[in-house]
């Protein structure tokens, strides 16, 4: 199994990030990935001595340089640099270990990395760009893109757009897997599943409302506590945070009340509710209509990361998908990236 850790291009130094990822790639024998984020909250920036984050598009310009430095550091030891001659005591060949001498607008590093890259060379790169600039960055670098779309039409359009952008960057679109957020609600019977759905997304419980407002505020940097829950959703909000998330949230809920919108907000992905077999049908349909590439299961607030939920997915849903031949039944390759790009 692969493990993907999130690291921000706004707060890390490229050298530390390259080194941490390479170390983890060694320790996992080639099963690590980096979820590239640019960060979206000014309060986070203030922990790192900045007044505010750079504007949205500049964050991606910085991220672009950051990724260039990191990749160059991973490539700074040529394959075969380690010769390990026991008799002569010659361990590594210094002519195969190179400085990178990177000097950009935002980042600089001399190099080389003080260790060879791990078994994958470059770990799996994962990204979640939603804005045009973010999508372009993701299409250029990522092996896996995670996307949040509430319905099949948007999912299909998003994937087609990413693949087109990847091709424009000279990449094989099949090397970029688009995985859609999904939070299936699974129960023994259809009725039980629908009852669970209402408990989670009904917005009857004040505590649930508060949690949802807090979570929404954390991502958008908009304090929704100021607005009337049963008045129409505001349509003119601006943020230096996740603007694409905020725009989507407003547009999607035009005409609805904030309370109704919050239910929608909690449900990040498509509606997947029912028995194991019903949910498998719904997922099969989505993949057939979007063209690929899979799902990123994410237990939302209310479901939360309980062992019970994970078991519903792993022991209930996954075996059904496997019986239908829709998901892998084994890992043919030792490296995470090779398995990801296998189909």
Residues of this chain that interact with other proteins (CB under 8 A) are 11-13, 15-16, 19-20, 22-24, 26-27, 43, 46-49, 81, 84, 86-87, 89-94, 97, 107-116, 118, 207
Are 147 and 180 in contact, with CB atoms under 8 Å apart?
yes
Q: Hey, what are 271's tokens?
A: 């509606």
User: How many angstroms separate the CA atoms of 196 and 200, rounded?
Assistant: 6
The nearest distance, CB 92 to other proteins, in angstroms, is 4
Buried b (16+ CB within 10 A) or exposed e, 122-150: bbbbbbbbbbebbbbbbbbbbbbbbbbbb
The nearest distance, CB 264 to other proteins, in angstroms, is 23
Nearer to other proteins, 109 or 149 (CB): 109
Helices (H), the chain: 14-27, 42-47, 56-74, 132-141, 152-168, 190-201, 206-220, 243-252, 258-266, 276-290, 307-311, 318-323, 336-340
Nearer to other proteins, 97 or 237 (CB): 97
DSSP state of 130: -
The nearest distance, CB 42 to other proteins, in angstroms, is 10
Helices 243-252 and 206-220 pack at an angle, to 10 degrees, of 130
The nearest distance, CB 207 to other proteins, in angstroms, is 5
The nearest distance, CB 74 to other proteins, in angstroms, is 13
Nearer to other proteins, 40 or 290 (CB): 40
Nearer to other proteins, 109 or 275 (CB): 109
User: How many angstroms separate the CA atoms of 261 and 258, rounded?
Assistant: 5
Nearer to other proteins, 131 or 211 (CB): 211
């Amino acid at each position: 199994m692969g493990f993907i850790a999130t690291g921000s291009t706004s707060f890390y130094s490229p050298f530390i990030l390259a080194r941490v990822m390479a170390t983890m790639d060694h320790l996992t024998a080639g099963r690590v990935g980096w979820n590239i984020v640019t960060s979206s909250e000014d309060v986070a920036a203030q922990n790192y001595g900045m007044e505010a984050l750079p504007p949205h598009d500049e964050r991606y310009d910085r991220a672009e340089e950051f990724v260039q430095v990191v990749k160059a550091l991973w490539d700074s030891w040529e394959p075969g640099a380690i010769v390990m001659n026991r008799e002569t005591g010659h361990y590594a060949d210094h002519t195969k270990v190179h400085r990178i001498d990177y000097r950009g607008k935002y980042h600089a590093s001399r190099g080389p990395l003080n260790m060879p890259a791990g078994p994958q060379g470059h770990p799996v790169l994962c990204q979640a760009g939603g804005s045009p600039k973010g999508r372009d960055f993701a299409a250029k670098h990522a092996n896996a893109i995670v996307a949040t779309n509430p319905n099949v039409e948007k999912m299909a359009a998003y994937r087609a757009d990413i693949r087109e952008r990847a091709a424009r960057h000279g990449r094989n679109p099949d090397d970029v897997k688009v995985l859609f957020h999904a939070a299936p609600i699974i129960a023994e019977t259809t009725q039980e599943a629908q009852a669970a759905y209402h408990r989670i997304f009904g917005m009857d419980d004040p505590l649930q409302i508060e949690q949802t407002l807090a979570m929404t505020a954390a991502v958008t940097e908009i304090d929704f506590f100021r607005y009337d829950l049963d008045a129409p959703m505001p349509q003119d909000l601006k943020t230096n945070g996740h603007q694409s998330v905020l725009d989507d949230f407003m547009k999607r809920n035009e005409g609805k009340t904030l309370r109704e919108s919050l239910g929608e907000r909690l449900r990040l992905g498509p509606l997947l509710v029912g028995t194991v077999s019903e949910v498998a049908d719904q997922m099969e349909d989505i993949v057939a209509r979007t063209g690929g590439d899979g799902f990123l299961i994410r237990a939302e607030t209310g479901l939360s990361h309980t062992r019970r939920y994970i078991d519903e997915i792993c022991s209930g849903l996954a075996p059904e998908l496997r019986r239908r031949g829709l998901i892998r039944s084994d890992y043919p390759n030792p490296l995470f990236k090779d398995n990801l790009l296998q189909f």
